[in-house]
Amino acid sequence: MNFEASEKTKELQNRLQVFMDSHVYANEEKFQTEIALARWKPTRIIEELKAKARHEGLWNLFLPHDENGAGLTNLEYAPLCEIMGRSHIAPEIFNCSAPDTGNMEVLARYGTAEQREKWLKPLLAGELRSCFAMTEPDVASSDASNIRASIVADGDSYVIKGCKWWSSGAGDPRCKVAILMGKTDPSAAAHKQQSMILVPLDTPGVKIVRMLTVFGYDHAPHGHAEIQFEDVRVPKTNMLLGEGRGFEIAQGRLGPGRIHHCMRCIGVAERALESMCGRVQSRVAFGKALAEQGTIRADIAMSRMEIEQARLLTLKAADMMDKVGNKAARSEIAMIKVVAPNVALRVLDRAIQTHGGAGVSQDTFLASAWAGVRSLRLADGPDEVHIESIAKWELGKSNHRCGPGVSH
């Protein structure tokens, strides 16, 4: 495996790093100040930086092999996504933030010409935002076959009924459309019952019940919503790909989305380690710098080793996605989806510990970053689901090698 960055990637890395250093980190506090004044209103600073990023060609970097993106492979995009992951405001500035990235990929891959014109085009331009309505409060949504929301054909329309939550982004007034997963045929085979459909959020019957918090953080103006769909009627032309193909779309959507989360986690962990190193070299306790304490040095060393391992596995998964496709790379995608958030959480926890009271306050990025990364152990499939899949594939390989009845 050769993970040497291409010249194109190196050039984009340099430009992205300069932009981050010049415009992003310096405006994180300004973003928070604007949000404090009007929590559920888009901020001026983000809109200004979006225009600047687009002007500089740092825009839609995530979309692989597509004329609307930078034409990067997953492996080429990985180090860029890592850089963006270092700041919670960065992905949106470059129009590379979830769930819009996944929704844009769905529309680009599965949408009709009409759907792409109406929704993909303004999403690519950063003119509006979207959400993904899949998880439900009353069932274990880690098993998507449990989903109860109904999509019933009625003449030239579909009528949608159900309740969704953790529809991230729905709190933003710029969020205009949801991709909703529901059941069109409960009598079909288990993985042919579900479909995905486009639901404009201004459709009668769509009601945002409440905004949810993540360990007390509301992530305004993006947010995470519980949405009630009560006899919501949309045209049949809003169906994506066709009835019964929801699982097919979900697998195509979640592969890239999962690895993007992992790439960003590596960036968060790197920033946390840098913060830890800076802190321990500037603080003295019990007569010597914290950096001279053995337990602190062990934490720093362990963090570096874990980050390097997680990055290599992420790059391997990205490389396999490019070379053999998401399905063949499913084991590596599952592994990194477990590994990367857990590594980032451990590094963040060590950094919080070295910062003392400041580490759990709003004075550093660490506490909010920990809350965000912790949610990733549930998002896009909880750890347990991925671990079970990895074990099943590994046992299958073992049986194939050994043959029936053969023990080691």
| Residue 307, pLDDT score | 98
Q: Which parts of 192-304 are beta strand (E)? A: 194-200, 206-212, 224-235, 284-285, 288-289
Q: What is the mean pLDDT of residues 237-265?
A: 91
Tell me, what's the pLDDT at 407?
Answer: 54
Mean pLDDT of the chain: 94
Confidence category of residue 400, pLDDT binned at 50, 70, 90? low
The packing angle between helices 246-282 and 74-84, to 10°, is 50
Give yes or no for residue 405 having a pLDDT over 70: no
Euclidean distance between CA atoms 68 and 45, whole angstroms = 25
> Can you give the pLDDT at residue 254?
72
What is the percent of the chain with per-residue pLDDT over 90, rounded to a whole number? Answer: 88
Q: How far is CA 132 from CA 199, 200, 289, 294, in A?
A: 10, 12, 48, 46
Rounded Cα gap, residues 1 and 137, in angstroms: 43
pLDDT at 402: 61
Determine the pLDDT at residue 4.
Answer: 86
Q: For the purposes of burial, counting CB atoms within 10 Å of the CB of 131, is it exposed (0-12), middle (13-18) or buried (19 or more)?
A: buried
CA Rg value for the chain: 22
pLDDT in tens, 129-154: 999 999 999 999 999 899 999 999 99
Confidence (pTM): 0.94
For the chain, what percent of residues have pLDDT higher than 70? 97
Closest residue by Cα to residue 325 from 64, 5, 6, 8 = 64
Q: Is 26 exposed, middle or buried (CB count within 10 Å of its CB: 0-12, 13-18, 19+)?
A: exposed
Q: What is the pLDDT of residue 99?
A: 95
**Under 8 Å between Cβ of 328 and 316:** no
Which amino acid is residue 185, in one-letter code? D
